[in-house]
Amino acid sequence: MSSAQGFGSNSPRTKLTQSQLNAILLRHQAFRKSQPGGVRANLKMRDLSHLDLSGIDLSDADLSGAKLFSARLTGANLANANLYAADLRLANLEKADLRRADLRGACLRGAVLSEATLVEVDLRDGTLLHYDASGEMYAQEYEDSVLTSELTAATIRGADLSRAKIANAFVMQTDLTDAILRGTKFMRANLTGSNLTGCDLTDADLTEANLSGARLSGAVMTGCAINRTNFSGATLIGAILDAAQMRSPNLQAAVLAKTLENPEDDLREMLMEHLTWIDSGGKAGKRADLSALDLSGRKLDGINLSAAILQCIALRGANLSGASMAIADLSLADLRKANLSKADLRGVNFERATLTGADLTGAQLGPVHIQTMSGHVWRANLQRARLGMALLCKADLRKANLAGANLAGADLTGANLSEADLTGADLTGAVLDGATLDQAIVEEAIGLAG
């Protein structure tokens, strides 16, 4: 039984007007500041549907069993709030703070939680409760009294659910793109058909979870427990997996990166066709498409793959020094510890690519000036790229889009970052000696000395 059906929609609730709610919020604000007349907000079993609670502070408030259907809670502070079995269907919780909130048995079907903070939130099963005449809650004692938390069809892009408890929950057809799921407990959760592209699932627990048909391209799964996990039809092309995980029989039913039957001959033929395509301006030959191929560890130095399609390609540990890959699409690629020193990567697309520990010393990652009447500038796209501990000494990153990129511990000695977009980038521990940051956009950048 879902929370929208049990200790949810059928139980009587008192409808609050916006003015009544505002009075409660004022007393709660005074309570939070330890001021006279302050009272902790008690909104349990209240009907707050469609109300605007944007930016309000309801931290530590009691909203158990509350109906917040289609309520607007953008930027709201609900840290440590009791939202036990609350009805949050279609609610807008974008950028809300829900850390350590009790959401057991809550229904968040169709809710928007993009960029919300849900660290250590509890979304496990709840027990169906009722109120007696005195207003106290008591458990209903029959088999269907358990409420399963539901996040079906919710939008949770870029949210932080680190160490959240989501065991047994319904998370089907849910958009979790770029979500932080480090150490999150998903045991026996149903994630069928969900989008986990670019997620960070480091040390998460997916034991017995159902990920059939889910998309995990570019997801980091190192240290993730996948015992008896159902990956039937799940797309793991471009996912970052441990060697031990790759040997797991669970992955046999998943869609993984392909290997070439005759790598030397097939690759040589594709490259020849691609060079003909470049030389003829696209009139002859064929543009190279190496998407979803596993070419890890291969010697490809000096190769010309300019404007090639290389989405989700695995090039872990490959030698691509001096390669020409201008305007190539390497989004969601696995380039861990790859050698890209002195490579021509102008205008390249590295969006959500993993370049942890890669060598990009002296690489060209500046813009390409397209020869048109408008004089269009094609910038290198490294948005949300993972460049932790990468070598970027003397790399040209002029005008590059590094928004949300992870550059923790990267060596950027002497790099040119003029006019680069570093909005929200993580530069913790990065070496920037002699780096040029003229006119760079550094709003919300982490670890950048003032």
Which domains occur in the chain, in start order?
A: 258-449 (2.160.20.80)
Provide the residue-wise pLDDT of the chain in tens; the chain has 450 residues.
Answer: 343 433 444 556 889 888 888 899 999 999 999 999 899 999 999 999 999 999 999 999 999 999 999 999 999 999 999 999 999 999 999 999 999 999 999 999 999 999 999 999 999 986 544 445 554 544 444 334 457 889 999 999 999 999 999 999 999 999 999 999 999 999 999 999 999 999 999 999 999 999 999 999 999 999 999 999 999 999 999 999 998 998 999 999 999 988 888 888 999 999 999 999 999 999 999 999 999 999 999 999 999 999 999 999 999 999 999 999 999 999 999 999 999 999 999 999 999 999 999 999 999 999 998 766 666 889 999 999 999 999 999 999 999 999 999 999 999 999 999 999 999 999 999 999 999 999 999 999 998 865
Pull the structure tokens for residue 192: 């069928």
Q: DSSP letter for 375, please.
A: -
Pull the structure tokens for residue 374: 């408008």
Pull the structure tokens for residue 116: 């919300």
Residue 378 class from Cβ within 10 Å (0-12 exposed, 13-18 middle, 19+ buried)? middle
Task: Give the CA count within 13 Å in the CB-facing half-sphere of 84.
Answer: 16
Distances (CA, A) of 353 to 149, 219, 343: 33, 10, 16
- Long-range contacts, stretch 203-207, CB < 8 angstroms, 24+ apart: none
pLDDT for res 147: 75
Write the single-letter amino acid at 178. D
Write the single-letter amino acid at 106. A
Contact call for residues 96 and 140 (beta carbons, < 8 A): no
Contact call for residues 418 and 399 (beta carbons, < 8 A): yes
pLDDT for res 303: 95
Of 326, 317, 318, the C-alpha closest to 345 is 326
pLDDT for res 306: 96
Of 86, 92, 173, the C-alpha closest to 121 is 86
Contact call for residues 189 and 209 (beta carbons, < 8 A): yes
Other CB atoms within 10 A of residue 423 CB = 17
Contact call for residues 346 and 398 (beta carbons, < 8 A): no
Count of residues in the chain:
450
In the chain, what's the furthest Cα-to-Cα distance? 83
Contact call for residues 265 and 285 (beta carbons, < 8 A): no
Q: DSSP letter for 16, please.
A: P
Burial 67-89 (b: 16+ CB within 10 A, else e): bbbbbbbbbbbbbbbbbbbbbbb
